[in-house]
Every structure is written in structure tokens, then in C-alpha cells.
Amino acid sequence: MRRALPFVLVVALAGCGGGGGSGGRQVVDPSTAIGLSGGTEVTVRGYFAHQPDALVPRMCTALTGAYPPVCDMPSLPVSNLSKQAEDGLPLTRDRETGGRWTQREIELDGRIEDGALIVE
């Protein structure tokens, strides 16, 4: 039994490698996603922020310490996200400014085109 335990642990850990994701998509952070070639299907894991004066929301690996928080650079523009889908995200909203952001990392599926995440 002692010899079987290390084998079982190795087999179990082998199935925990990164690179899997929703539907076989690669899970990446926003900084990595920016550099991927066009058409690459990914799941981006990071913070989400949408400022009222911004045309599109953004995903990033960290939010600034400002209030309301905004994405620290580099950040990944997010397009094709419907208002209904955005409203379904776990967002904190600032009533005074209209800024919206996540307090924890979230995942969005899509493809990378011209340095932006096109949500599918």
C-alpha cells in the first residue's frame, strides 16, 4: 500500500495542470491575453471594471487604489458584452460616479482580436 500512494498522488496531480478551462479553453490573465494572436479562444481570469466615461469595460490583473477603482495597466478591453450579461456579473457600483467593478477575479470566455477580448 505504501508504494501505491505516491503513484495515486502523481496521477491525481497530473490532472490538475493549468491550461484547461471552460470547454477546453486556455485560462489566462489579462496581461497574457493582450499578447495572444488573433482568433485565440480563451477564458480570461481577472478583475473587471467599467467606468462611465469609457466606451468599453476592461479586465486587468489588479485594480488601482483610487475610488472608484479602475483597472491598473496593462488592461484588456472587453467588447461584445451585452448590458444584460454585464448586469449579471458580481459588480460593485458607485452611485455617484456610475463606476462598476468586481471585488474578486471573474472569468469571461471569448476570443482575442486586435488586443481585445471579444465575449462569446
> Cβ distance 27 to 43 under 8 Å?
yes
Is 94 part of any domain?
Answer: yes
Is 4 part of any domain?
Answer: no
Give the domain CATH number at 70. 2.40.50
Nearest 5 degrees, angle CA 108-CA 109-CA 110? 120
Does the predicted TM-score (pTM) go above 0.75?
yes
Is 104 part of any domain?
Answer: yes
End-to-end CA distance of the chain: 48
What phi and psi values does residue 77 have, to the nearest 5 degrees? -65, 145
Average pLDDT over residues 85-106: 96
Is 13 part of any domain?
Answer: no
Q: What is the pLDDT of residues 1-15, one digit of tens each?
A: 444 443 333 333 333
Task: List CB contacts of 91: < 8 A, sequence separation 6 or more.
Answer: 48, 50, 100, 101, 102
Number of domains present in the structure of the chain: 1
Is 8 part of any domain?
Answer: no
Element spanning 13, H or E = helix 4-14
Q: What is the pLDDT of residues 20-29, one digit of tens each?
A: 455 678 999 9
Name the residue range of residue 52's domain.
18-119
pLDDT of residue 52 exceeding 80, the answer is: yes
Is 2 part of any domain?
Answer: no
